[in-house]
Amino acid sequence: MPASLNRPPKPPASISPTAPPPPPLSTITFALPSKQLASVNDLALYRASPTHQLIVAFITDLRNSVLNLPNSHPCEISPLVQKLLAILGEVHQLVDEHPADEAAGRFGNKAFVGFYDAVSERAAGWHKDLGLPEDAAVEEVGRYFVESFGNRTRIDYGSGHELNFVSWLLCFRQISLLHPTDYPALILRLFNRYITLMRHIQTTYLLEPAGSHGVWGLDDYQYLPFYFGAAQLYSHPHLRPKCIHDNDILDEFAAEYIYLGSIAFINSIKTTAKLRWHSPMLDDISNARNWAKITDGMGKMYETEVLGKLPVMQHYMFGGLIPAAEGMGEEEAGDLREGRVVVDKDGMRHVHSGWGECCGIKVPSAIGARKEEEGKRLRSVPRIPFD
């Protein structure tokens, strides 16, 4: 291969925020977020709306803020970001205060319900001191926060819940409490802390994957760590996509790069097969020429496979800060023309177009499967240092 083709790409010379400026506070009517996207027509209205463009632009701006930055990169941490970090620390303590039921099986541990309720009860108090303008704003922003840890009824977690965490941050941005100068810290400090917390929650309560078991072959639970993580490696002079297969590199750099840390975590859980078998798309992506191609591809796939898919977005909530498109949610049940209309245990009316891709099939946690296997052995599988 010519040397020029093997060089890491240069980042864009200058990157300006792509999201529109936050709306004037006087124009915002705060509202408790609710699920309003329930049909193919609703999805089309949403995808053509300014809200869809806002979400895509905000996530793109977050990605651009960490191009070529390792986790240890010094970044400005505002008082608000410091408070948000402290809140995640308190959520971590709640996990420890609500231990898992050791007698439970490999499906979602019901002790998660107690943890979830504790987060719900404390959410308003945590949000009182964050500069939100009124109680209605506290309720609206807090709803996205609570929903970012999984579903209380199904005891599962997936990319839709991860999207709620990003939406939580977007709410602060819409009220002009977070600014582009905060974005590196939002990823390198806050989002990283969230990933670590979610792995602790997944490991403790054996949350089931929401959806059809890693629909992209990336990870059973998360997507954005690979998107933001690829951006961190965008122009790395030595680490190439193939490096995810080198355990020595993972041991050395997992703490510095979100993408490599995610691969290391997957390897620590799914110990019975190689990456090719349990995460085939990650394996295929490692053949890409450089991280720039992976970054761009991850962004396009996220917009299509997460933000553009009914099984994911029909569980998403819209409020005053992240409004629904005009006309969404106005159809009757008989007008939902794609697949079978169901009402889940939360009272949400939505569509199954296949074999229950969003909530109809229980899929055991890979973490739970590993723990069950360990219990059958005389000697448990040693824990990976990263784990």
- Read off the pTM: 0.86
Burial 218-252 (b: 16+ CB within 10 A, else e): bbbbbbbbbbbbbbbbbebeebbbebbeeeebbee
What is the average pLDDT across 117-144? 97
CA distance 295 to 181: 21
Residue 111: closest CA among 102, 122, 121, 120: 102
Burial of 306 (0-12, 13-18, 19+ CB in 10 A): buried
Lowest mean pLDDT among 213-217, 231-235, 305-309: 213-217
Confidence of residue 124 (pLDDT cuts 50, 70, 90): very high
Residue 148's pLDDT is: 98
77 pLDDT higher than 90: yes
DSSP 216: T
Which residues neighbour 38 within 8 Å (Cβ) at sequence distance 6 or greater?
314, 329, 331, 336, 348, 349, 350, 351
What is the average pLDDT across 171-179? 98
Q: How wide is the angle at C-alpha 225 spanned by C-alphas 85 and 188, nearest 5°?
A: 40
Give the residue carrying structure tokens 């400005």: 76
Residue 383's pLDDT is: 36
Confidence of residue 102 (pLDDT cuts 50, 70, 90): confident
Residue 87 tokens read as 């809140």
CA distance 169 to 69: 20
Mean pLDDT of the chain: 85
Give the residue carrying structure tokens 């002079």: 237
